[in-house]
């Protein structure tokens, strides 16, 4: 027997088909509080979409440790072979809005929330091991350039390349994005990365630098520009629907988590700046070490509660895992939680998707939508037996010295990493990369920006620059190398 319809306050709801009116032809009565409440709630059903990563798909799953990492970190979720931790994941588009086709070429967000016994731990990265910029001061400008023109309201390739042409640190990521991996065939057939360098600390206080790699157990496959364009017209939610259907059918995707572990001092002395997210650390120098397997085995129970209301932040850390000196990461530690407070409210951590599995004890009180509050003391220090500090969570410090200032990056070699990436590509991949630049960079209005982009490519690799120049009609004689 069906349950009885009620209002939000639990009162019986007699008629959900017709409003109360003064006579058969109206007008509608203001005393019809059920109508007013229904309309008022409907008016507020859409929360602000994410400024970045607005469109995405989510799932639930479990992480199982296959190789104990206690020699490197005291983080509970990575200690003990066979250890299992529930998790939620959101895979997203960076630039487009909530209704944008998800097969359009873009970086894909790859965010994992582990519900550990020590609190929530989030790895918030992308399907690329690098990013376009290395300073948080440039992030709003970068995102503005990828969004819509303030006058025409069009997404404009001129804006995108205008920013990239004047930000040479972006050429490594632009090469990655315009290559095959800029258009994955499926969310299941792409890798995920923590992107930044993080710090692991073991129980003895030893420190290590670490980079995260989620390698798809389904393999990596990508779609052509032509297929992506066709799918965008047929199903704007193609990648989301493909993941949902696979999980619904019991075809559970998995990723094996590997890490690169770099001894503390070696990381500081490495030939590239490991704290610059536009660069990578060579697998030859620091090979991948297996940690465990992440399996997605359940779809959302309710998309809004499980995916739209989930909030990730690289500041969600647990003992044994700490930030690094990465400037962009430092900015994200603030920005992500602040964005969640704007979008979801001051107490967004109390929502189901963000609630930790362990009990929460602190002195934060009140604010919009506060739940589960008691009458205990709300200040510290106190003599009332309130929660006290846990030295186990103390941060391991880093030495630094110098004068404050707005400095250029420590390592200003923006180009060689993009050249190495280009030379890892097969001849067929290089041809597709050049064709993609012809279809994008080749269509912009500014000849100067075309030249600046070709200059970056040529500084990365001479063949790379020459082939793109030929494709878009730029004379290499006009390029300052």
Known catalytic membership, residue 153: no
Rounded to 5°, angle at Cα 102 from 354 and 426: 110
Phi, psi of 197 (to 5 degrees): -90, 135
The answer to whether the CB of 31 falls within 8 A of the CB of 2 is no
**Best CA proximity match to 394, nearest among 147, 205, 158, 254:** 205
User: Does 316 qualify as catalytic in the annotation?
Assistant: no
- Cα–Cα distance between 449 and 162 in angstroms, integer? 6
Closest to 135 measured CA to CA, from 313, 328, 272: 328
Cβ-contact 47, 344 below 8 angstroms: yes
Among the listed residues 120, 126, 316, 449, the single catalytic one is: 126
3-state secondary structure labels for all residues of the chain: CCCCCECCCCCECCCCCCCCECCCCCCECCCCHHHHHHHHHHHCCCCCCCCCCCCEEEEEEEEEECCCCCCCCCCHHHCCCCCEEEEEEEEEECCCCCCCCCCCCCCEEEEEEEEEECEEEEEEEECCCCCCCCCHHHHHHHHHHHCECCCCCCECHHHHHHHHHCCHHHHHHHHHHHCHHHCECCHHHCCEECCCCEEEECCCCCEEEEEEEEEECCCCCECCHHHHHHHHHHCCCHHHHHHHHHHHCCCCCEEEEEEEEEEHHHHHCCCCCCCCCCCCCCCCCCCCEEEEEEEEEECCCCHHHHHHCCCCCCCCCCCCEECCCCHHHHHHHHHHHHHHHHHHCCCHHHCHHHCCCCCCCCCCCCCCCCCCCCCCCCCCCCCCCCCCCCHHHCCCCCCCCCCCCCCCCCCCCCCHHHHHHHHHCCHHHHHHHHHHHHHCHHHCCCHHHHHHHHHHHHHHCHHHHHHHHHHHCCCHHHCCC
Residues 6 or more apart whose CB falls under 8 angstroms from that of 41 comprise 8
Q: Which of these is catalytic: 16, 18, 41, 53?
A: 53
Q: Among all residues, which ones are annotated catalytic?
A: 53, 126
């Amino acid at each position: 027997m069906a349950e009885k319809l009620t209002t939000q306050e639990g009162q019986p709801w007699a008629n959900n088909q017709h409003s109360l009116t003064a006579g058969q032809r109206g007008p509608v009565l203001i005393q019809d509080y059920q109508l007013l409440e229904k309309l008022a709630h409907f008016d507020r059903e859409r929360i602000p979409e994410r400024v970045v990563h607005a469109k995405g798909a989510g799932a639930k799953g479990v992480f199982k440790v296959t190789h104990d990492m206690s020699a490197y970190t005291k983080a509970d979720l990575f200690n003990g072979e066979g250890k299992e931790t529930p998790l939620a994941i959101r895979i997203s588009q960076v630039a487009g809005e909530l209704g944008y086709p998800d097969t359009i070429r873009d970086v894909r967000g790859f965010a994992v929330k582990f519900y550990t016994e020590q609190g929530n731990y989030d790895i918030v990265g992308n399907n690329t091991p690098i990013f376009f910029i290395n300073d948080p001061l440039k992030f709003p400008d970068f995102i503005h350039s990828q969004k819509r023109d303030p006058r025409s309201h069009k997404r404009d390739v001129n804006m995108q390349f205008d920013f990239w042409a004047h930000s040479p640190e972006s050429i490594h990521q632009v090469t990655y994005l315009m290559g095959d991996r800029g258009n994955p065939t499926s969310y299941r057939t792409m890798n995920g990365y923590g992107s930044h360098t993080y710090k692991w600390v073991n129980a003895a206080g030893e420190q290590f630098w670490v980079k995260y790699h989620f390698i798809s157990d389904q393999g990596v496959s990508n779609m052509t520009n032509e297929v992506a364009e066709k799918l965008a017209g047929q199903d704007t939610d193609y990648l989301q629907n493909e993941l949902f259907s696979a999980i619904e059918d019991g075809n559970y995707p998995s990723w094996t988590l590997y890490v690169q572990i770099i001894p503390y001092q070696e990381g500081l002395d490495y030939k590239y700046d490991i704290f610059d997210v536009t660069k990578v650390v060579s697998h030859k120098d620091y090979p991948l070490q297996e940690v465990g397997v992440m399996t997605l085995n359940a779809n959302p129970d309710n998309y809004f509660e499980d995916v739209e209301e989930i909030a990730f932040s690289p500041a969600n850390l647990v003992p044994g895992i700490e930030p690094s000196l990465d400037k962009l990461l430092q900015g994200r530690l603030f920005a992500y939680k602040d964005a969640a407070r704007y979008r979801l409210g001051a107490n967004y951590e109390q929502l189901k998707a963000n609630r930790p599995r362990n009990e929460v004890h602190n002195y934060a009180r009140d604010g919009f939508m506060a739940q589960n509050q008691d009458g205990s003391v709300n200040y510290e220090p106190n003599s009332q037996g309130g929660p006290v500090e846990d030295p186990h969570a103390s941060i391991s410090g880093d030495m630094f010295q110098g004068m404050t200032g707005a400095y250029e990056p420590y390592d200003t070699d923006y180009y060689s990493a993009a050249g190495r990436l280009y030379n890892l590509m097969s001849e067929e991949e290089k041809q597709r990369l050049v064709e993609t630049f012809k279809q994008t960079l080749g269509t912009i209005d500014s000849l100067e920006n075309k030249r600046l982009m070709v200059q970056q490519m040529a500084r990365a690799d001479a063949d790379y620059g020459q082939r793109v120049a030929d494709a878009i009609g730029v004379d290499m004689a006009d390029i300052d190398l």
